[in-house]
Amino acid sequence: MTFDGKYFDGKSSAGYAAKIQLNSFGIQISYTDGQSGNSIEWTPDKIHANDFSSNQKIYLKYGEYPFQYLEVNDPRFVSELKESFPNAKFHKGAYNFLFSTGVMGLVALAMAFIGLLALTYFYILPAVGEHVAATVPIEWEKKLGDASFDKMVEGEKIDEANSKRMNEFFQQLHYKSDYKIEVVVVKDKIVNAFALPGGKIIVYEGILRTMNDSKKLAALLSHEFSHVQLRHSTKNLFRSLSSYMLLSVIFGDASGLTAVVIQNANQLKQLGYSRSLEEEADKNGLKLMKERHLDPAGMEGLFRALKKEEGNAGDVPEFLSTHPLTIDRINYVRKDVAKHNYTSIEDAGLDSLWTGIKSNLDE
Amino acid sequence: MEIVSTKVNFYGDGAKYFGILIVNLLLTIVTLGLYYAWARAKNLQYLYGETEFAGSRFTFHGTGREMFKGFVKAIAIVLMLILVSQAGQFSGSKVIALLGGLIYTIGILLLIPIAIHGGLRYRMSRTSWRGIHFGYRGDLKELFDICIKGILLTIFTLGIYSSWFHCNLRRYLESNIRLGNCKFSFEGKGGDLFWINFKGLFLSIFTLGIYLFWYIRNLNHYSINNSRIEQDGNICSFKSSLAPGDVFVTGFIIYFLVVFTLGLGTPWAILRQMRMVLDNVELEGAFNPDAVIQTEENYSDATGDDLLSMLDIGLDF
């Protein structure tokens, strides 16, 4: 079968009308360049691959620089070419496979792509973030925590006397840790407390005012200490960082990433923990209290006091807004306590420290 | 002489382009970015292949392998500059830190002409039409002079000179571009560009952005209508018929294509924008599409092209 096409010889832009035939050696091209008739032969191995050839119009590129071209507008030529030279590289472009699958192939690919992104975003990145967080040196965490600490207490008054008492109180709990824990009491009526990476714990006066015994304070500190010990902030930071990284790869925005790193380092406060991390801190705190023979009712009492605050003020206390539903927390604490029966021992040392803290608050 | 018109047409197909970009993105992510060079090559191969002038398509010959080699060299250069500035930061001495920062800034500024020169040489050499290759014959030293003069004067005139700088640069680059034995040139004047920018800025503010469509049209016409191609002594002009209405409609469609598909419509939006520009271009004059002779050399170093992409400089030819 003979096809009509245009042949470009790589020397001039004049396209010569050509008769094209396929034979066992390759492609036979016969054309007239004005004066004389010519006939040349192309061997299939020197025809370049083309990823994006359409089925209507085919462009073949041949040989070394300057290349020769053949342009054929005949769908039958495409199929005959494939039949004659099924193993030639020129119609084996990687992307051609994709287009041969049609619309369904594209849709399937798009779905696979979105699926992969979702998988990466929701499972792989958090896991990677957590893994990285576990290997971060403590000094690094401390630096990060100190940076956010400075930012958070900026313009706030620190209650030095109560901070000192709080640290004594924490020491009396005798929790073992790789971190040097430092509790700071901030004079502010916010009902909240924060654990920063590296060991700093910020407690606002507002949350202390909702308490009426040492057990609740012990519960609060156990909870916050668990955040530090279990590296929750750092895990959180790396999770959101890796998510932003993925998003910035997709949207090609590297400068945005830098902004996020800076923002996160300064405002850990805004990140908030996920509910599962809060629950982990609750349960770990409870475990610590039991090992120390403290009354686990303190934990439940703390939640109840906060819940009451919720009812009084009309607004949800900040501590609760980012935490699991208070009623859920009361329930799982209660269940846990009921399951493991054990005795708690009153601790006069903690009680007297608490009295000191309380009276200082009231002054 | 009879005026023959030779049109540019763009045939990009959204679904196909979507597939290409998705595969590119997937492979880039899976290979942790290494595939990026190949992705760029495929992207250009596709877009050039869908652009037609006087009935024949363009071809982009650049390959992922060339672009990857260029990418490695470009990364090494930029990384070295970053290392110098970082080393300065950590040396503890304020003088050394300042010096490091200075070397970094000057280095990046000097890289701009190097990137444009190398990038254009590569991009032109790798582009052909009817088998005839483009070429860039500019001289790096002359380009340096234009850039240094332009940057300094732009700084001293608080940005006013930038229109003239842009115009000088464009004139120099375009006058050194060849398509075989045909020579390009650019006749735009700095004053005209300044006036377009001046009007564009102020009228856009006063009309709450409505003038923007005219501003884009004016920039487009300035850029295209001032371009010439010379064939055997015959000078032909490019002409753009882009109207403010086209800009408005395309802008509107692009906005909705991207926003309402959460970005999945981006490939269609890119093609739409290219079609808006390209479909409105034609060449006026006695240009003979059958009489272009091959003249340019092969050039395969893609470092400049990768630097351009890294510095985020677009060459809008």
What counts of helices (H) and strands (E) characterise chain A? 16, 10
Percent of chain A at pLDDT exceeding 70: 82
Residue A211 burial by Cβ neighbours in a 10 Å radius (0-12, 13-18, 19+): buried
Mean pLDDT comparison of A144-158, A232-246, B173-187, highest-scoring range: B173-187
Q: Which residues in chain B have their CB less than 8 angstroms from residue A89's CB?
A: none
Which of A11, A15, A65 lies closest to B293 in CB terms?
Answer: A11
Cβ contact B45–A110 (<8 Å): no
User: Both tokens of residue A112?
Assistant: 């696979």
Cβ contact A109–B131 (<8 Å): no
Pairing state between β B177-179 and B132-136 = antiparallel
How confident is the model over A137-146, as pLDDT tens digits?
Answer: 888 888 888 8
Q: Which of A13, A95, A125 is most worth mutating to test chain B (most B CB atoms within 10 A of its CB)?
A: A13
In angstroms, the separation between the Cα of residue B26 and the nearest Cα of chain A is 7
How confident is the model over B43-84, as pLDDT tens digits?
Answer: 999 999 889 898 888 989 988 889 898 888 888 888 888 888
In angstroms, the separation between the Cα of residue A114 and the nearest Cα of chain B is 10
- To 10 degrees, what angle do helices B212-225 and B244-259 make? 110
* B61 DSSP assignment: -
**Beta partners for A71?**
A6, A59
Q: Answer yes or no: are the C-beta atoms of A8 and A71 closer than 8 Å.
A: yes
In angstroms, the separation between the Cα of residue B279 and the nearest Cα of chain A is 20
Which of B45, B289, B298 lies closest to A13 in CB terms?
Answer: B289
Determine contact: A315 vs chain B, CB below 8 A.
Answer: no
Q: Which residues in chain B have their CB less than 8 angstroms from residue A249's CB?
A: 28-29, 33
> Which residue, B167, B192, B284, is CA-closest to B229?
B284
Q: Return the residue of B nearest to A115 by Cα.
A: B26
Q: Which residues in chain B have their CB less than 8 angstroms from residue A11's CB?
A: 293-294
Q: Which residues in chain A have their CB less than 8 angstroms from residue B49's CB?
A: 52, 59
Report how many Cβ contacts below 8 Å link chain A to chain B: 89
Q: Which contacts qualify for B105-108: CB closer than 8 Å, 24 or more apart?
A: B107/B81, B108/B81, B108/B311
Whole-angstrom Cα distance, residue B165 to residue B181?
A: 28
Walk me through the domains of chain A, giving residue ranges and CATH numbers.
Answer: 2-100 (2.30.29.240), 138-362 (no CATH)
Determine contact: A68 vs chain B, CB below 8 A.
Answer: yes
pLDDT at A323: 64
pLDDT at A235: 82
In angstroms, the separation between the Cα of residue B16 and the nearest Cα of chain A is 7
Q: What is the ipTM of this complex?
A: 0.76
Cβ contact B57–A59 (<8 Å): yes
Average of per-residue pLDDT across A224-253: 75
DSSP string of A196-229, one letter each residue? -TTSEEEEEHHHHHT--SHHHHHHHHHHHHHHHH
pLDDT at A266: 42
Higher pLDDT, B225 or A11: B225
Cβ contact B19–A98 (<8 Å): yes
Q: Return the residue of A nearest to B134 by Cα.
A: A66
Q: Is the pLDDT of residue B3 over 60?
A: no
Whole-angstrom Cα distance, residue B171 to residue B166?
A: 9
Q: Which of B27, B34, B130 is most worth mutating to test chain A (most A CB atoms within 10 A of its CB)?
A: B130
- Indicate the pLDDT class of residue A35, thresholds 50, 70 and 90: confident
How confident is the prediction for chain A on average, in pLDDT? Answer: 80
How confident is the model over B89-112, as pLDDT tens digits?
Answer: 777 778 888 888 888 888 888 888
> Which residue, A9, A5, A27, A34, is CA-closest to A17?
A5
Mean pLDDT comparison of A28-32, A271-275, A339-343, highest-scoring range: A28-32
Q: Which residues in chain A have their CB less than 8 angstroms from residue B133's CB?
A: 65-66
Q: Is the pLDDT of residue A270 over 50?
A: no
